Amino acid sequence: MKSLLFLSGYALITYLPSSIAYPGMKDSLSDLHRAANVPRADAKQLIGDLKTLKDTQLTTIGKDIKAIILGTKDARSNTIDTSVPPGTVDSAACKADLCCVWKWISYEMTARFNGTSGRCTKLARGAVRLGFHDAAVWSNTTTYGGADGSILLTDEISRSDNNGLSAIGDQMKTWYNKYHQYGVSMADLIQMGANIATVVCPLGPRIRSFVGRKDNAKAGPTALIPDVADSADKIIKLFAAKTIDVHDLVALVGAHTTSQQHFVDTSRDGDPQDSTPGVWDVAFYGQTTGSPPPRVLKFASDVKLSQDTRAKTEWQQFIGAQSHWNEDYAKAYTRLSLLGVNNINDLKECTQVLPPERTAFVNEDQVVLDMWLQGQFNQLNNMVDDAIMLTGIITTNP
Ligand code: HEM
Ligand SMILES: *[C@@H]1O[C@H](CO)[C@@H](O)[C@H](O)[C@H]1NC(C)=O
Ligand SMILES: *[C@@H]1O[C@H](CO)[C@@H](O)[C@H](O)[C@H]1NC(C)=O
């Protein structure tokens, strides 16, 4: 849908806002197509303690997580607790309620992740990527690593894989230093951060959020994070060894819908991976295979993946299909966020602390955004990064 609009250049300024306002318009068509033509990928693999526990041994949450990662249960939830926490974080009432500390953390994270333009901020996008980079340092041949907080508890963060993550890393350490005394692990803080960031991004799914992961102060194994120059085959194999199949991989890279790169091409610092950075829409899929405006910088790895015969069909199906993608992303991310976790059956749920999802978004600064996308206003890059409304900037930077 959107890539068609981009082909006729003049239509950009006029029509983009309304296209953003209709998430999921192609969904019913896509669902039909999916049911008719596409056999589901190979059976999903179990992970962690779920591999050995019998169904009769599973807790309610253990059962739910098993069903989510096997693909039979939705990973999203609108269960929300709008009441104020029972007390300040160090009160007895708060300490008696497992999710109370997470409610305070959610308030703090939401304030840093929600931009004044209504887009999610650079810190939010960093939090999503940080969640990926902590959890993905695991494979079926490693005996440690995964969603264990090690990216920030060790010097993992200084590996070149993690270029661009220092600001969110520092912020996460500040939160950890404040909340660790209330029983919060770094591993949970990072994954809760990713889920809060995702739902703060307009159109992002509200992913069920579990806590109780254990930290590991040992740096994870190397060579497990994909590189932008990798072939599709290499990336597919790398994720397969993490139990993430091609379908889930295609859903996960859609996170680049929010992204603005800094290190892939340093001469184009701040250039986005689709025309709507900071918005959790599906424009990324169509624009990676299509002809987006000049400022959009496609990652070579995304282009290769979109063309690979194993990935192509699913890639095409996410184009214009917001709720299909949100559903699949939520399941795939739940799996990713539990790699290396061997006490899944003992986790607890604090989904209710997440802010509500936002199912519509209109770019109020569309006219200026379009000029930026066409290559004007280079100096605005970092301001777009911080998701400050462009119309506000143009008056102070004529
Ligand atoms: C499949 C292979 C992947 C490769 C090769 C890759 C590579 C990259 C690169 C090179 C950047 C730009 C970093 C910079 O220059 O600042 C980036 C950004 C990002 N990636 Fe990925 N990525 C992959 C998968 C994923 C997955 C699975 C997720 C999340 C589930 C993810 C989430 C993000 C996010 C949110 C950003 C934006 C960060 C920002 O705007 O500051 N990526 N990725
Ligand atoms: C984020 O900001 C937008 C626009 O300013 C607002 O509508 C939305 O409610 C905020 N979200 C949260 C969770 O506070
Ligand atoms: C790890 O995953 C890869 C890719 O799915 C598979 O070929 C390999 O047999 C697995 N190894 C183990 C030890 O499970």
Q: Using 50, 70 and 90 to split pLDDT, how confident is the model at 35? A: very low
Give 137's Cβ-side CA count (13 Å radius).
27
Q: Is residue 9 part of a domain?
A: no
Nearest of 208, 253, 250 to residue 74 by alpha carbon? 208
Two tokens at 325? 């993608």
Any ligand 1 atom below 6 A from CB of 226: yes
Phi, psi (5° rounding) for residue 348? -120, 165
Which residue's CA lies nearest to atom 5 of ligand 2? 118
Q: What is residue 2's predicted lDDT score, i.e. its pLDDT?
A: 33
Nearest of 240, 297, 224, 230 to residue 265 by alpha carbon? 297
**Atom nearest to 116 CA in ligand 2:** 5
pTM assigned to the model: 0.90
Which residue range(s) make up the domain with 359? 27-385
- Chain-centroid distance of CA 116 in Å reads 20
Q: Write the pLDDT tens digit of every residue in 296-333.
A: 999 999 999 999 999 999 999 999 999 999 999 999 99
Residue 74 pLDDT exceeds 90 = yes
Any ligand 3 atom below 6 A from CB of 141: yes
CATH number of the CATH domain containing 352: 1.10.520.10
Q: Which residues line ligand 2 (CB under 6 A)?
A: 110, 114, 118, 200, 355
Q: What is residue 386's predicted lDDT score, i.e. its pLDDT?
A: 56
Ligand 3 centroid to Cα of residue 202, in Å, is 37
Residues 6+ apart with CB under 8 A from 117: 278, 364, 365, 387, 388, 389, 390
Q: What is the C-alpha R_g of the chain?
A: 20
Q: Write the pLDDT tens digit of every residue in 213-226.
A: 999 999 999 999 99
Q: How far apart, in whole angstroms, are the C-alpha atoms of residue 330 and residue 101?
A: 24
Ligand 1 centroid to Cα of residue 315, in Å, is 17
Tell me the ligand closest to 140's alpha carbon. 3
Q: What is residue 212's predicted lDDT score, i.e. its pLDDT?
A: 98
Residue 390 pLDDT exceeds 90 = no
Mutate to test the pocket of ligand 3, among 140, 236, 237, 238 (most ligand atoms within 8 A of CB): 140
Q: How far apart, in whole angstroms, are the C-alpha atoms of residue 2 and residue 189?
A: 35
**Atom nearest to 241 CA in ligand 3:** 2
Q: Is residue 17 part of a domain?
A: no
Tell me the ligand closest to 302's alpha carbon. 1
Any ligand 1 atom below 6 A from CB of 298: no
Q: Is residue 20 part of a domain?
A: no
Q: Is residue 108 part of a domain?
A: yes
Q: Is residue 21 part of a domain?
A: no
For residues 196-208, average pLDDT = 98
Q: Using 50, 70 and 90 to split pLDDT, how confident is the model at 384? A: low
Q: Is residue 172 part of a domain?
A: yes
CB 224 within 8 A of CB 239: no
Q: Using 50, 70 and 90 to split pLDDT, how confident is the model at 375? A: confident
Two tokens at 22? 């209709």
Query: Who has greater pLDDT, 242 or 20?
Result: 242
Which residue's CA lies nearest to atom 2 of ligand 3? 241
| DSSP conformation class of 272 | B
Give 23's Cβ-side CA count (13 Å radius).
20
Number of domains in the chain: 1
Q: Using 50, 70 and 90 to split pLDDT, how confident is the model at 59? A: very high
Neighbours of 381 (CB within 10 A): 17
Question: Which region holds residue 149: left if phi is over 0, alpha if psi is between -120 and 50, else beta?
Answer: left
Residues 6+ apart with CB under 8 A from 225: 133, 136, 137, 159, 161, 162
Which residue's CA lies nearest to atom 14 of ligand 3? 140
Two tokens at 165? 């993550």
Q: Is residue 289 part of a domain?
A: yes
Q: How far apart, in whole angstroms, are the C-alpha atoms of residue 358 and residue 3?
A: 23
Nearest of 247, 240, 243, 255 to residue 285 by alpha carbon? 255
Any ligand 3 atom below 6 A from CB of 240: yes
Mutate to test the pocket of ligand 2, among 80, 203, 358 (most ligand atoms within 8 A of CB): 358
To 10 degrees, what angle do helices 300-307 and 232-240 make?
A: 80
Q: Is residue 8 part of a domain?
A: no
CB 76 within 8 A of CB 281: no
